[in-house]
Structure 1
Amino acid sequence: MKTFPTSAAWCFGILFISVSLITTESSEVVGSADPVVALAGDDVILPCSLKPSVGAEDMTVEWTGLYLKTRNVHLYRQGRDSNVEQFPSYRGRTSMFHEELKNGNVSLKLTRVTLSDAGSYMCFIPTLTGQVKETTVQLFVGAVSQPVISINHLKETEIHVPDDLFPKSYIVLIVGLSIAVAVAVLASLAGVYMWRKCTKGEFNLDL
């Protein structure tokens, strides 16, 4: 009778381990059937998770680029990010949602995507005991077209007339002619006025 509690504890322990192993073995890595589309400069999330949901805090998660076998995009193992051998162009631009690892979410966030980031990415969990340990995600990156603004340029033309174009002698001549014309006009007006006076008999001339 004294050994019953110990036996019961062992039974419960074995049952718990068996259920855990069955759950782990039945889990598989899944991604997205649709490609991820982004514009250059955007932040994107490459989806990857375990189904059914299993905690992945103690697992190893490898994100690699399939277009270059040596392109290590992001590595998570032993409970932390380990990006010593990360491809230089991805440094400082990749992260995982650590608070979501307990829910089996091993998606990768890639910030400030560039045209060279486009391609296929593989999410691989080598420590998973299930049959499906990896999945691929396709990323398409489009270029942002810059608006072209045209400004119709207005040119102002100034015409400068040099002083020597009209010599001072010409100026004096013009002024003299203007005065002469003015005197002639005044004389003509005076003559007309005197003529009208004479015709009206307003002037008496003594001989």
Structure 2
Amino acid sequence: MGVGEFSYRISISTLIVVFPLLFVFRLAQGQLHVVGSLQPVVAGPGDDVILPCQVEPAFNVAGLTVEWSKPDLRPDPNDRLSRVDYVHLYRDAHEVPDMKLPSYIGRTALFTDSLREGNISLRITNVTQEDEGRYRCFIPKLKSQTRFSIVRLIVDPSLTETVTTKAQLDPENFHVPDLNEEIDNKGGSSERCRLIPVVVLCVFILLCFAVGGCLITESQKAELKKRPI
């Protein structure tokens, strides 16, 4: 095998490996995720709070449905017609109050001007002890493996009233929940799905080394055959 032929085979093999690698890397980079605050939001009775939730990277969700609910609330098993209402439901570019929990009527709002940047944080005014618990922000039609996140609200009676309490919108305070954290799993997806591109990437890297090693070995054998005995 000549040097030119060997170089040609190396180039073809490299292209076969590199192009899929670039595709997988680009796919992993463009994956959307709904992320919420890693730290619980702590407030006192009567406070106004903001439950942070964001689509990362920034993505316009103004035309999508946004649901805020309390996943620990379950329908009445004795009533087949019962349903779990929402803390806040945004659909067709406006709030839908008909499917809202009565205790939250007139107390919740999204930052509609920020929906174009993927901000789906929820503001709740005049919180009470009954508001404490887990909240789920969910975008049903988001083209993503992770369409929901969980934010926890703690209402501490010992805290004095403040104007607004919220967790800092710092990337370190956000997390993508595992499916096991979610009781109602109709829209979520396990964080293990996010590892698929990484696994594929590792397989391609190993394949690259294997192909390169085989070509080098074959070249060495060809050179040995050409040498005079």
The aligned counterpart of 2:39 is 34
Q: Distance in 1 between matches of 2:134 and 2:71?
A: 6
The aligned counterpart of 1:138 is 152
Structure whose CA Rg is larger: 1
Q: Distance in 1 between matches of 2:42 and 2:64?
A: 28
3-state SS of paired residue (1:92): coil
The aligned counterpart of 1:79 is 93
Pair 1:63-2:72 in alignment: no
Give the direction of change, closer, same or farther, for the CA distance of 1:127–1:143 in structure 2 (3 Å limit).
same
Q: Distance in 1 between matches of 2:33 and 2:97?
A: 24
Give the direction of change, closer, same or farther, for the CA distance of 1:144–1:101 in structure 2 (3 Å limit).
same
Task: Structure 1 unaligned segments of length 5 or more: list them.
Answer: 1-21, 147-207
Q: Distance in 2 between matches of 1:135 and 1:33?
A: 10
Higher RCO structure (Cα 8 Å, ≥6 apart): 2
Task: Structure 2 unaligned segments of length 5 or more: list them.
Answer: 1-26, 75-83, 161-229
Number of corresponding residues: 125
Q: Distance in 2 between matches of 1:44 and 1:96?
A: 12
3-state SS of paired residue (1:76): strand
Deviations 1:97-155 (A, max 9, x none): 00000110000000000000000000010010110000000000011489xxxxxxxxx
Q: Distance in 2 between matches of 1:94 and 1:145?
A: 21
Superposition RMSD on alpha carbons, in Å?
2.0
The aligned counterpart of 2:134 is 120
TM-superposed CA distance for 1:67, in Å, is 2.2
TM-score (norm 2): 0.52
3-state SS of paired residue (2:87): strand
Please say if residues 56 and 102 of structure 1, whose CA atoms lie closer than 8 Å, have aligned partners that are also in contact: yes
The aligned counterpart of 2:190 is none
Q: Distance in 2 between matches of 1:145 and 1:36?
A: 13
